[in-house]
Amino acid sequence: MKKTRWNKSVSLLLAVAVLAMLPGCSSGGKNGQSTTAAQNETTVAGSEESSGETQNAEEIVNHAKREGLPITDEEITLIVGVNSPTSSYQLPWEDTNWIKMLQEASGVKLEFRYYESNDSIALMYTSRDYPDIAIGIGSDKQIQEAALGGDIVPLNDLMAEWSPNWSSYFAENDLARRLVTFEDGNIYSLPQIAEIPYDLNLRDMWLINKVWLDELGLEIPKTTDEYYNVLKAFKENAGKGSIPEDVIPLYTRNIFQTAGGALDIFGTFGVRTQGNGTVTLSDEGKIEYNYATDDMIEPLLYLRRLYEEELIPYDCLTCSQDDYMMMTRSGKVGSFFSYANPDVDTYIAMAPVDSGNGKQPLTRGQVNWLSRNKFTIFSTCQYPEVAMRLADLIADPVWTIQCRYGTTESGWVTRNEDDTFYIANPGTDYWDTPDVRCLFLLTESVFNRITLAEDHSHAERLSMWENVYKDYVIPMENRYQSILMTEDQTLRSSELSKDLNDCRNTTFANWMLNGGIEEGWDDYVKQMQNLGLEEYLSILQEAYDSFNSK
C-alpha cells in the first residue's frame, strides 16, 4: 500500500512540474502578488484508516478544489473577456447580482475586460493579448485558428477531471457533443445550452394592439388582407380614442434582424425563416438559401406596400435596438414583433396570417438551444483547473436557473427546499444577471424545475407557444444546425456569406424605399450567383453531409 501512495505522489509532482511551466494570471494573495510555490502547489489532505488505506477528504490541484464551495483554497483572480453591453438594459457584468453571488460562492475574483466591437475582438486574437477566459468572445474561425496556434486550452481532459456537469451532459447528448467538437476531436469552447420549448420553437411573437382593435370594432386579423386593413385603420383613425396623432401602425427593427425584424412577414407567405432565415433544409436534406428563390417576390411586394403607404416608417430600416425598445413601449405602435409582450393589457399575440397563396403560414423556430463559444480558456491562464470548476459551478442547475431567470436576491425568484424555483413577474427592472450573454446548462429536465407566475412574460410565451404558434413552427428536420466546419470551409463560407448578405440587405432596403422588385428580381438573383451563391451552398452542404456521417 505504501508503494501505491508513493506512485500517486510522484504522478502529482510530475503534473505540478508541467503546470509550473505555464504562464498565467495573478492570484489574489497579499497585495495582489503571488509566488510560484503557492501557485503551483498540489496538496492532498486526508486521513489513513488502520488498514493503511488513504481516504482523501480534500484534494487541491493548482488551487482548485475538486468538490464543494468555495472552489479554490484561496482567492484567485481570473481576467474575463466579454462583449460590452449592447443596450441600456444590460448591466455591466460586475454590477449584476448573479456575478457578485458567483464570486462570493466560488472564491474566484472576476475582472472583466470589455470588447466593444468585432474589430476589438479581432485585434485581441491577432495581437494574442488574451484574457484568462472569454465568455462569448470569438467566432468559430477565430477560436479554431487560435486553437491551432496553441493559444486555447483543449477542454476534453479538463472536463473529465473537473466538470462532472458538462462531462455528463456531453456523454448523454451526442448531437451537442458533435456540434462543439472540432475536426481534431477537441472541444475548445463550451456552449450555452437552452432546451426551452418556447425559445427553441418560437423567436418573436406577432403582437397587435387589442385596445385599438376593440375601439374600432375590428377582429384580430387572420389573413394578410385583413392585417393590411387593420394597419390602415390604425393610421386613418390617428387622434381618435386612445390612438395617438403620431401613431405608427407597424414597427420593425430593420428587415433581417433576428429580434424584431420583418422576417415573420416572409414566413406568413410560407417562406421558411428559421432564426434569421438565411438557410434551411429541404425535406430531402438539401441546403436552401431562402432569399434568392422566387417564393420571396410575393412577401417582398407585400412588405413594400406597407412601406409605400407609410404603414411602416422608413426609419425602421436603420433603427437600433434601443430605438426599437423605446418605440415599441411608447404607446404609439399598433403592431410589432417581439420576444416578450411589454404590455399584456394592451397587446395580444396573433398567429401568422394566411396569405391565400395555398402555403402553410410559418413562424420562426430556432436552433439556439446550443450557442457555441460561451466559455474559452486561453493558454495564458495559469489556473485552468479553477476555470473549469467555475464553468462546472455555472452549469449546476441552481446557478443556471438564476443566470437565466434572475437571482434569489432579486425579490422575484424563490428557491424551494427541493431546489425547484418559482419565478414571479419581475416587471421591467429584472436585469440582475448576464442572462443570455453567459454560459449556462439549461436542459429540458432543469427547465421542468421552474414554475413561472401566470403574469410572467415567459409564462405568456410558453402559453402562446402551446396555444397559438405550435402548429406553425418549421419542423426540426428543416432547421439548419450551426455546425463546425474545417478551417478552409469556415474561411471561404464567411467571405461568401458577407458578400451575399451585403448584397441582399442593400437590395431589399432599396426595394422598400423605391420599389422595382419584380423588374429587378432576375438581376438580383444573377448578382447573387455571381457573388458565389452556388459555391456557398455547396460548402455548407459538404460540411453538413460530413457532420451527419459522423
Residue 59 and residue 212: Cα distance in Å, rounded?
A: 65
- Banded pLDDT at 273 (limits 50, 70, 90): confident
- Please check the confidence at residue 123 and state whether its pLDDT lies above 90: yes
**Which range among 18-32, 323-337, 433-447 shows the weakest confidence by mean pLDDT?**
18-32
482, pLDDT greater than 90? no
Q: Which helix (H) or strand (E) holds 76?
A: strand 76-83
Q: What angle do CA 371, 373, 377 make, to 5 degrees?
A: 150
Q: What are phi and psi of 56, to 5 degrees?
A: -75, 115
Cis peptide before 70 (omega within 30 of 0): yes
SS3 405: helix
Q: How confident is the model at residue 33 (pLDDT cuts 50, 70, 90)?
A: very low
**435-452: burial string, b at 16+ Cβ within 10 Å, e else:** bbbbbbbbbeebbeebeb
How much of the chain exceeds pLDDT 70, in percent?
A: 89
* pTM given for the model: 0.74
Q: Domains in the chain and their CATH numbers?
A: 2-197+371-423 (3.40.190.10), 205-364+491-549 (3.40.190.10)
Torsion of CA 453, 457, 463, 467, to 10 degrees: 150
CB 386 within 8 A of CB 248: no
Asked whether the predicted pLDDT for residue 29 surpasses 80, the reply is no
60 pLDDT band, cuts 50/70/90, is very high
Cα 485 from Cα 508, distance rounded (Å): 29
Q: What is the DSSP letter of 34?
A: -
Confidence tier at 471 by pLDDT (50, 70, 90): very high
More confident residue, 91 or 249: 249
Residue 484 pLDDT > 50:
yes
Confidence of residue 3 (pLDDT cuts 50, 70, 90): very low
* 28 or 520, greater pLDDT: 520
- The alpha carbon torsion through 142, 144, 146, 148 (nearest 10 deg) reads -150
pLDDT at 507 over 50: yes
- Single-letter amino acid, residue 496: L
Between residues 337 and 86, the one the model is more confident about: 337
Q: Which pLDDT belongs to residue 17?
A: 37
Query: How far is 497 from 539, CA to CA, in rounded Å?
Result: 11
CA distance to 65, 103, 112, 439, per residue, from 399 (Å): 18, 12, 19, 10
pLDDT averaged over every residue in the chain = 88
| Residues in contact with 35: Cβ distance below 8 Å, sequence separation at least 6, in sequence order | 29
Model confidence at 64: pLDDT above 70: yes
| Residue 51 binned pLDDT confidence (cut-offs 50, 70, 90) | very low
Phi/psi at 371 (5° precision) = -115, 115
pLDDT value for 52: 35
Across the range 76-80, mean pLDDT stands at 98
Note the pLDDT of residue 525: 98
Higher pLDDT among residues 462 and 24, named by residue: 462
What does the pLDDT average to over 221-238?
98
pLDDT at 47 exceeding the cut of 90: no
pLDDT at 5 over 50: no
Residue 171 near residue 304 (C-beta atoms within 8 A): no
Predicted confidence at residue 89, as pLDDT, reads 76
Helix (H, G, I), strand (E, B) or coil at 261: coil
Return the pLDDT at 536: 97
pLDDT of residue 429: 60
Confidence of residue 313 (pLDDT cuts 50, 70, 90): very high
Residue 245: burial class (beta carbons within 10 Å; 0-12, 13-18, 19+): exposed
Determine the pLDDT at residue 42.
39
DSSP 190-249: EEEEE--HHHHS-S-EEEEEHHHHHHHT-PPP-BHHHHHHHHHHHHHTTTSTT--TT-EE
pLDDT at 299 exceeding the cut of 70: yes
Residue 277 banded pLDDT, cuts 50, 70, 90: low
Find the mean pLDDT for residues 148-152.
96
What pLDDT is attached to residue 288? 93
Sheet holding 64-65, edge to edge: 42-48, 54-61, 64-65
Crossing angle for the helix pair 487-514 and 517-530, to the nearest 10 degrees: 160
Residues 339-397 pLDDT 10s? 989 898 999 999 999 999 999 999 988 878 999 999 999 999 999 999 999 999 999 99
CA–CA distance, 237 with 243 (Å, rounded to integer): 7
Stronger pLDDT, 238 or 478, i.e. the higher one: 238
